[in-house]
Amino acid sequence: TYVVTDACVKCKYTDCVDVCPVDCFHEGPNFLVIDPDECIDCTLCVAECPVEAIYAEDDVPEEMQSYIALNAELAKEWPTIVEKKDPLADHEQWAGVVGKIHLVER
């Protein structure tokens, strides 16, 4: 499966959702997650993300391992998103910031 990680938090560009053939992205207030039970490993979303937030599960960097379980957990709580929308208002300010997992809103 593929995993949405730190760079997405407080940005949420949503380019990724347009290309997913199985609609497995789920949307929260300031972050998106992939449902690991639905993702078919097509890889299409990876290149779409302007901040390179999406990794194959096996390639998630050490400091972002917590995002694997977080995607699985929140995918069960948040609704599906299937169409691109505008990024969050402060996306430019947050795009280069790292270590944002504590800022994920439920």
Q: Which residues bind ligand SF4 (CB under 6 A)?
A: 2, 19-20, 22, 24, 34, 39-45
| Position 34 contacts ligand F3S (CB under 6 A) | no
Q: Tell me: does residue 74 bind ligand F3S (CB under 6 A).
A: no
Closest CB to ligand F3S among residues 11, 75: 11
Instruction: Note whether 88 and 3 are within 8 A (CB).
Output: no
Q: Are 28 and 105 in contact (CB under 8 A)?
A: yes
Asked if residue 16 binds ligand F3S (CB under 6 A), the reply is: yes
* 48: contact with ligand F3S by CB under 6 A: yes
Q: Report how far apart, in Å, the C-alpha atoms of 35 and of each of 28, 32, 81, 90, 94 are.
A: 13, 10, 12, 26, 24
20 binds ligand F3S per the rule CB under 6 A: no
Q: DSSP secondary structure string, 69-93? A: HHHHHHHTTSPB--S--PPPTTHHH
Smallest distance, Å, CB 59 to ligand SF4?
A: 12
Question: Which partner, ligand F3S, ligand SF4, none, binds residue 19 by CB below 5 to 8 Å per kind?
Answer: ligand SF4
Residue 86's Cα: distance from chain center in Å? 15
